[in-house]
Structure 1
């Protein structure tokens, strides 16, 4: 445990030192988010690329840890590097959606090549046969999971400190679950990631002096997706669906509701709107800080359910997830989350 705390502190320090440097770099190369439409909450230009500080903090701390890097850690580093390059290009040049998707798929395939993949899924039906082998579906399942979570984190990055804070809470949740499962590698990765986010967050919390940009939002989504396959499990190779879906609840449900909302209203799935949870909270008259803190609390509650799900039987965990999803859908319907807003 002491080693994990040390790694987290090192990661915090590196991230906190690098963030102002990255900010100056972003300004120098003119990687700046200039508010051009009414979807943007901020009113003045803010430098992007804050994700670079998180990336370098994560990578450097991981390399500095004692012992050789494992095969899966090398895969995560390579995949994260590809994601960051893609995010950087998007922040600077605003690349097309299909180009971003190709980069995300390439990063997911790197994980597959290095053995970070979904091989077994916990069985929601039988108590005698605990796991279901996905066989040839291992590769598409892994790609869909990684690409889905990567984009989900990117979609909620709409308020100062929101995506970073939610990612931090998710990382802490997976860290606790990894400890409970004695998954040392996942515990190391999440402690480092949590530290990297925490060092960056003071600069990104409202009023933000720097945004993480696609560079950071996609990186956090990718890393959480990858690490959850390593740590949110009940055996060395099985993927417990319930745990990461709850641990990463805010971005997953917000993205799911956005897709349903756009489908119901006849809008393209990828078309941006102002129907996300943070937009709704602002429409209720909350300030940015209040909206972000509420979403932090929701994320923490879902994280607590994820930890609970890890302690009960698989069938009960699936039942818990089902009940939570039903409650969330009813709340979303009642408060108009499926109504389109430009």
Structure 2
């Protein structure tokens, strides 16, 4: 565990240092795009924070090569090389998009290319599904399913990147929960070592988000941009795919194994979906909404979940904290279901169910009953997000537009 803690702290410190440097360079050379209609912020802000996160994560991965505790996944370095290559592709395209707004087809093609590198060259694939012990016997099916899963998670994480600190905090919580699960899963399956690629990637992601959050918290000095959000989604999906290869599909047979192992076999698919449930929900609603309007599923708009929360009356920070709460409660509920069963706690998995029900009820109350704000001090979210009309007589409005 000490090695994982060192990985988190090393990645966090390096990310924070590099983010500050990127911020200073971006301001000096004016590497910040104009404000778009759907943006909430009103001050031009650099979007190259993903570069700092990427460099810090690459450094952490390379440092692990010299650490004997992590030699288990360096024995066959192809998966690690695939992760580095795929991440580099995404960062290059993400930076170009953050600076010049690339066509969505170019970005989507790069995402499929990066996911293909992970699945084909890195041989990190979804090998089985928790459906009656179904094993994917065809390599083509495994690769195809893996590629689409990675691309979907990448876009889901990127879609919620709309408020200061939102993606960094949600991914920090999600990966912390996933790290705890993957660590315990390796222990419960009787592995000779607790060090594995999935847990290591989760620790690196926790460190990157932890280091980036101070400079990204409201009011943000630096955004992670597509280069950061897409890489986070890529590595989160990759770590989830990696952990599925550690379980024997036979564990899914309830006649041969008890309920404890059956639940443990379902969670490798369930928990990765749960920790990114809000991004996936936002992504699914956006695709349905845009296709229904006859638009591209990747055409931008201002109807994401975080935008709707602002329109309900929540402040930017309140909306972000509510997203944190939703992510933590749902993820911890499923994690407790696994822990309670495998540790033979009293009440078995109902501990997790009860925690989830109570937590979700509390979150619903907070979400649907936003606190009232002083309209003079903070204008409504819709007014802040939409561009001001040219005919506005208010000189303060003209000054803000300038």
Bucket of the pairwise TM-score, normalised by the shorter protein:
0.7 to 0.9
Deviates more, 1:253-262 or 1:95-104: 253-262
Question: Whole-Å Cα distance in 2 between the matches of residues 50 and 40 of structure 1?
Answer: 17
Check the 8 A contact 1:246/1:305 in 2, yes or no. Answer: no
Alignment pair present for 1:81 and 2:88: yes
Check the 8 A contact 2:275/2:330 in 1, yes or no. Answer: yes
Deviation at 1:258, TM superposition (A): 1.8
Question: Whole-Å Cα distance in 2 between the matches of residues 22 and 236 of structure 1?
Answer: 45
| TM-score, normalization by structure 2 | 0.73
User: Which of 110, 114, 117 is the matching residue for 1:103?
Assistant: 110
1:7-46 to structure 2, matched below 5 A, reads 7-37=7-37, 39-46=38-45
Deviates more, 1:303-312 or 1:85-94: 303-312
1:272-311 to structure 2, matched below 5 A, reads 272-308=300-336, 310=338
Report the equivalent of 2:129: 121
Alignment pair present for 1:133 and 2:129: no
Check the 8 A contact 1:174/1:231 in 2, yes or no. Answer: no
Report the equivalent of 1:249: 277
CA RMSD across the alignment: 2.7
Check the 8 A contact 2:51/2:227 in 1, yes or no. Answer: yes
Question: Whole-Å Cα distance in 1 between the matches of residues 237 and 44 of structure 2?
Answer: 31
| Greater C-alpha Rg | 2
| TM-score, normalization by structure 1 | 0.85
Report the equivalent of 1:188: 200
Check the 8 A contact 1:262/1:269 in 2, yes or no. Answer: yes
What's the CA shift string for 1:294-316, capped at 9, x where partnerless?
00100111211332454569xx9
For the residue of structure 1 that corresponds to 2:164, the secondary structure is: coil
What runs of 5+ residues in structure 2 fail to find an aligned partner?
Answer: 187-193, 250-264, 343-348, 369-385, 387-402
Alignment pair present for 1:262 and 2:290: yes
Check the 8 A contact 1:52/1:216 in 2, yes or no. Answer: yes
Deviation at 1:28, TM superposition (A): 4.2
Deviation at 1:172, TM superposition (A): 0.8
Question: Whole-Å Cα distance in 1 between the matches of residues 52 and 174 of structure 2?
Answer: 19
Alignment pair present for 1:201 and 2:213: yes
Question: Whole-Å Cα distance in 2 between the matches of residues 232 and 180 of structure 1?
Answer: 14
Change (3 A) 1:210 1:137: same
Report the equivalent of 1:224: 236
Question: Whole-Å Cα distance in 1 between the matches of residues 108 and 337 of structure 2?
Answer: 32
For the residue of structure 1 that corresponds to 2:223, the secondary structure is: coil
Report the equivalent of 2:62: 63
Check the 8 A contact 2:172/2:209 in 1, yes or no. Answer: yes
Check the 8 A contact 2:128/2:244 in 1, yes or no. Answer: no
Check the 8 A contact 1:177/1:231 in 2, yes or no. Answer: no
Question: Whole-Å Cα distance in 2 between the matches of residues 282 and 94 of structure 1?
Answer: 25
Check the 8 A contact 1:160/1:207 in 2, yes or no. Answer: yes
Deviates more, 1:270-279 or 1:280-289: 270-279
Check the 8 A contact 2:127/2:244 in 1, yes or no. Answer: no
Question: Whole-Å Cα distance in 2 between the matches of residues 299 and 106 of structure 1?
Answer: 29
Question: Whole-Å Cα distance in 2 between the matches of residues 63 and 122 of structure 1?
Answer: 34
Give the paired residue count.
317
Change (3 A) 1:134 1:167: farther
Question: Whole-Å Cα distance in 1 between the matches of residues 29 and 244 of structure 2?
Answer: 39
Question: Whole-Å Cα distance in 2 between the matches of residues 301 and 155 of structure 1?
Answer: 21
Deviation at 1:270, TM superposition (A): 2.5
What's the CA shift string for 1:41-68, capped at 9, x where partnerless?
0001001110111111111012112045
Question: Whole-Å Cα distance in 2 between the matches of residues 29 and 92 of structure 1?
Answer: 12
